[in-house]
Amino acid sequence: MKIIAFYLPQFHEIEENNNWWGKGFTEWTNVKKSKKVWKEQYQPKEPLDDNYYDLHNVETLKWQCSLAIKYGLHGFCFYHYWFAGKLLLQAPMEMLLENPDININYCVSWANEPWARTWDGKDKEILINQEYGDQEDWIEHFNYLLPFFMDNRYIKINNMPVVVIYKSSSIEKCKEMMDCWNKLAIAQGFKSIYFVKTLREKKEDTRQLPFCSCVEFEPARTLHNQGNWLLTYERIRRRVINVINKIFSTDYPLNRIKQFREIANKSIKFKAGSGTFGGVFVGWDNTPRRGNAATYITEASKQEFESYLLEKIEITKNYYNTEYLFVNAWNEWCEGTYLEPDKKNKYKYLEIIQKCLSNYKNGKDKVGL
pLDDT digits (tens, 9 = 90+) for 259-268: 999 999 999 9
For helices 91-98 and 58-70, angle between their N-to-C axes, nearest 10 degrees: 80
Residue type, 90: Q
8 A C-beta contact, residue 181 and residue 168: no
Domains recognised in the chain with CATH numbers: 2-224+257-361 (3.20.20.80)
Other beta carbons within 10 angstroms of residue 2's beta carbon come to: 17
Asked if pLDDT for residue 202 goes beyond 90, the answer is no
Q: Is pLDDT above 70 for 324?
A: yes
- Whole-angstrom Cα Rg for the chain: 20
What pLDDT is stored for residue 121 in this prediction?
44
Q: State the virtual CA torsion across 47, 107, 326, 100 in degrees, nearest 10.
A: -50
- CA dist 34 → 336, 344, 361 (Å): 11, 16, 40
Dist CA 238 CA 293 (whole Å): 8
Q: What is the pTM of this model?
A: 0.94
Per-residue pLDDT of 83-133, as tens digits, reads 999 999 999 999 999 999 999 999 999 999 988 876 554 556 889 999 898
The Cα–Cα gap between 342 and 230 comes to 33
pLDDT of residue 162: 98
Instruction: Give the pLDDT confidence of 158-171 residue by residue, as tens digits.
Output: 999 999 999 999 99
Instruction: Note if the bond before 210 is cis, omega within 30 degrees.
Output: no
**pLDDT tens per residue across span 268-301:** 999 999 999 999 999 999 999 999 999 999 999 9
**Above 70 in pLDDT, residue 214?**
yes
